[in-house]
Amino acid sequence: MDRKNFFLGMACIVGAFALFFLTKPATPPPGATPAPAPATAVAPAAPSLVAKPAATLPVSAQSARPVPLESAKSFVIENEKLKVTLTDRGGAIREIRLKKEFADVTKQGVVVFNARNDESALALAVKNPLTGKLETILSEFAVQPGASADKITFVGGLADGTRIERSFTLATKDGAEPYSLGFATKVIPAAGKPAATVWVSTGCWQPTEGDSANQFLSVLAYDGEDLTRVGLDVFTDSSGFFGLGAHKAQADHAVASVAKPFLWIASGNQFFSSIIHPADASARGARTEVLVLPVGFEGGKRGLQAFASWEPVPAADLSRTFAGEFFVGPKEYARVAALPDGQVAVLQFSKLLGFISFGAVCKLLLAVLGGVHWLLEWSGAWSWGWAIVLLTCLIKVITWPLTSIQMKAAKKMQKFAKPMQDIREKHKDNPEKMQKELMKLYTENKINPFAGCLPILIQMPIFFGLYTSFQTTVELRLHSFLWIADLSAPDTIFELGGFPVNLLPVLMGVTMWLSMRMSPQPSGDGSQKTIFLMMTLLFPVICYPMASALTLYMTIQNLLTMLQTWLTKDEPDVVVIPPATKKVKG
């Protein structure tokens, strides 16, 4: 490897990593988007319906008088996973407690969906014909007889005589998705009038501590082919990158699917999602409109919710029924992959350089990780940590032959370092002659100068796939291993002057350096050694704030590579055949 190749390689490595991490949503400046907070911890007590008086949407000016938030009545339905608190104020969902999902490592409370949001989830809204603005339906909805522990029906209406019937049903049967809530909203117009178009809210999640750039706090809309994402950056002033992409913060953001309707709309954060999925084509109609809105929380924190309208096919009496499933739960791969119409896209697998997808690799790695964990569940609290260790070993077994090829090629190239350097020195003033002589040397000794690149080409998709997967792998959330308190977060052991001290990235860097020292260096001028040294310094810095699951994988992978290098160190030497010289006639 000459100096030109060295500088070219360094430029490629730095450029690839720079583009990869610069294409992620940037962290907003202080004061623009506040720092995220951990998931809301809620003790298992009766839900409070008192909220701060600052509605996200303007209160409807209907003659049907709005019910004050503090005087609204609450009703509860629940199953083994969810405790749903509904309100007669619009006949919607005030909040949902995820009974099996702890809020943090203290395990003193549970995650609460739509917490501290003044708008209810699945709240209805209608568009004011004069202003064109959405107005939430906040009038009283009466509970109908026959309510049970898992089902409830509300009836209310609009000032023009429109009747609205709303029902909510939780799954309780074996085999049914326990995090899904069945819903149906029937709009029955007054005689001689068309049914009003109603909009329904996705609700809102709190931002998570691990998603410091708000990369996964978003609203998603999927039409069967394209996934539309709206993040908090739309609602934040930005000066752009040297002016490129500069924009002013929007008060709301409209999205429409006119040619075909959206199959589902979701609001989510790093680990959890709420998905409105219409039941069938008749419920979806021909088009969908979405209005995304920021939600303000205490301390300047923000979240996102959306109001969406579909156009269900009208019945004979001109009534329209919008029915479907409302998934509110963790973004577990196996769980969301089983949901219909591509709802697995809520995992938001990021793309390298913004367009190279690692979705297939991510899904494969998560499926294998889930299977390995299933085999190791008996190991107890550390089962997910052991699953990562075993997954790393499986990947190493698969890539072992490729790594052997790399090591043999490196050893062979190392033997030819002196002849290659001699050719470069001899023909330094004639680059064309130099390349011909080098190619002759490669051919006569059966050298493939690119053989060492194959393992890297295989391992890089695995690295980026795991990097992408582990950012949103809720299965690892709050699970400990060794000194690691949470595999989905950095393994901070203490803070020094406010700076977190993470041990695994340091160990990863040390093992990378030791692995490099043990590996043969094919380049005679030491340029490859410099590249490896730069990577040894660069990777720990890049991985320092990432999930400890990723740095655990990298550390174990380095140790296994050191073992392989030690096992293959006594292979026979390569015999160097110097390039043949042409005989001079005469």
The answer on 412 and 376 residing in a single domain is: yes
The answer on 548 and 412 residing in a single domain is: yes
pLDDT-wise least confident of 148-162, 245-259, 311-325: 245-259
Handedness of CA 81, 71, 200, 316 (dihedral sign): positive
Of 161, 178, 64, 82, the closest CA to residue 121 belongs to 82
Q: What is the pLDDT of residues 505-521, one digit of tens each?
A: 999 888 888 887 776 65
Where residue 455 falls among pLDDT bands split at 50, 70, 90? low
The answer on 415 and 279 residing in a single domain is: no
Is 406 among the domain residues?
yes
Where residue 305 falls among pLDDT bands split at 50, 70, 90? very high
The per-residue DSSP string of 439-493 comes to HHHHHHTT--TTGGGHHHHHHHHHHHHHHHHHHH-GGGTT--BTTBS-TTS--EE
Is 17 among the domain residues?
no
H or E stretch covering 394? helix 383-415
The answer on 407 and 289 residing in a single domain is: no
Tokens of 366: 């998560």
pLDDT at 464: 82
Whether pLDDT at 585 is above 80: no
The answer on 334 and 383 residing in a single domain is: no
- How many helices (DSSP H) and strands (DSSP E) are in the chain? 11, 23
pLDDT-wise least confident of 43-52, 449-458, 527-536: 43-52
Is 417 among the domain residues?
yes
The answer on 418 and 340 residing in a single domain is: no
> Which range of residues forms the domain containing residue 303?
69-346
Whether pLDDT at 119 is above 80: yes
**Burial bucket for residue 149 (CB in 10 Å: 0-12, 13-18, 19+):** exposed
Query: For 427-456, what is the mean pLDDT?
Result: 69
Q: Tally the domains of the chain.
A: 2
The answer on 294 and 170 residing in a single domain is: yes
The answer on 321 and 201 residing in a single domain is: yes
Q: What is the pLDDT of residues 458-488, one digit of tens each?
A: 677 788 888 888 888 888 988 999 999 989 8
All residues at 6 or more sequence positions from 46 whose CB lies less than 8 Å from its CB, including other chains: none
Instruction: Look over the chain and give the mean of its residue pLDDT values, rounded to a whole number.
Output: 79
Where residue 451 falls among pLDDT bands split at 50, 70, 90? low
pLDDT at 484: 92
Q: What is the pLDDT of residues 407-426, one digit of tens each?
A: 776 666 666 666 777 777 77
Contact 140, 156 (CB under 8 A): yes
pLDDT at 372: 92
Helix (H, G, I), strand (E, B) or coil at 390: helix
CATH number of the domain residue 79 falls in: 2.70.98.90
Helices (H), 182-317: 281-284
Whether pLDDT at 200 is above 90: yes
Is 252 among the domain residues?
yes
Query: For 5-26, what is the mean pLDDT?
Result: 45
Whether pLDDT at 93 is above 90: yes
All residues at 6 or more sequence positions from 442 whose CB lies less than 8 Å from its CB, including other chains: 448, 449
> Higher pLDDT residue, 293 or 576?
293
The answer on 393 and 327 residing in a single domain is: no
Is 240 among the domain residues?
yes
Is 12 among the domain residues?
no
Of 432, 544, 447, 535, the closest CA to residue 489 belongs to 544
Handedness of CA 305, 310, 316, 318 (dihedral sign): positive
The answer on 387 and 521 residing in a single domain is: yes
**Burial bucket for residue 174 (CB in 10 Å: 0-12, 13-18, 19+):** exposed
Where residue 4 falls among pLDDT bands split at 50, 70, 90? very low
The answer on 319 and 413 residing in a single domain is: no
Is 105 among the domain residues?
yes
pLDDT at 263: 95
The per-residue DSSP string of 321-359 comes to EEEEEEEEEE--HHHHHTSSTTGGGGG---EETTTEE-H
The answer on 545 and 511 residing in a single domain is: yes
Is 35 among the domain residues?
no
